[in-house]
Amino acid sequence: MNTDTLSLASHGPVIPVIVIQRLQDAVPLAKALVAGGVKVLEVTLRTPVALQAMEAMARAVPEAIVGAGTLRTVADVNAARDAGCQFGVSPGYTDAIGAACREQGLPLLPGVSTASEVMLANAAGYGFLKLFPAVAVGGVNLLKALAGPFPDVAFCPTGGISLETAPQFLSLANVKVCGGSWLTPQDAVDAGDWARITRLAAETHSLR
């Protein structure tokens, strides 16, 4: 499981955290990100059309690696798998979520925000974790501190990270990739400015 999720980091230094408000935006948005060299797409389960958007992206843009974010329940896990997602991301971790993902064969990037939560996820077999909400819980300083007792754990910090601050996170040895919502600004999506999103995606490759 961990190897599968850790491989996501090999595709580039940033995983966009995507909120889809309108279903018709899903496919052109995915195509715009892929055109900029960003293949791993986390679509959050925060809107009524999220699952349909994931399914549309996975079907119409096969070169994209579509994952479901904000997995909170076993039902979320099952729905994400049914929608064709290739990985899942949770804001926190529970054994029920872990078990459901294993049962479905869905690689999971579980969320943590404290040392105790790192230990809980680690005990369940997860060594690549999402630090969330990264900036709010301590950001770079917390990740540096966690490197001491957890030298074998890698992180994907997400939450509050910007184009300007991403290099600070990506410079850390225990950070393999970071998540960011700045790649898909809502005003660009609303305007259908896919060229802008492609440019933002392309910029991420110079961050590390």
* Residues β-bridged to residue 181: none
Query: Does residue 110 carry a pLDDT above 50?
Result: yes
pLDDT score of 208: 87
CB 14 within 8 A of CB 159: no
Query: Does residue 123 carry a pLDDT above 90?
Result: yes
Q: Looking at 42, 63, 103, 176, which residue is catalytic?
A: 42
Is 176 known to be catalytic?
no
pTM over 0.85: yes
Is 39 known to be catalytic?
no
Q: Looking at 31, 39, 55, 130, which residue is catalytic?
A: 130
Query: CA 56 to CA 149: how far, in whole Å?
Result: 42
Going across the sheet that includes 65-69, the strands are 108-109, 87-89, 65-69, 40-44, 14-18, 178-180
Write out pLDDT tens, residues 168-195: 999 999 999 999 999 999 999 999 999 9
Write out pLDDT tens, residues 23-37: 999 999 999 999 999
Kindly give, in sequence order, each residue whose CB lies less than 8 Å from that of residue 139, ignoring residues fewer than 6 positions away. Answer: 157, 160, 169
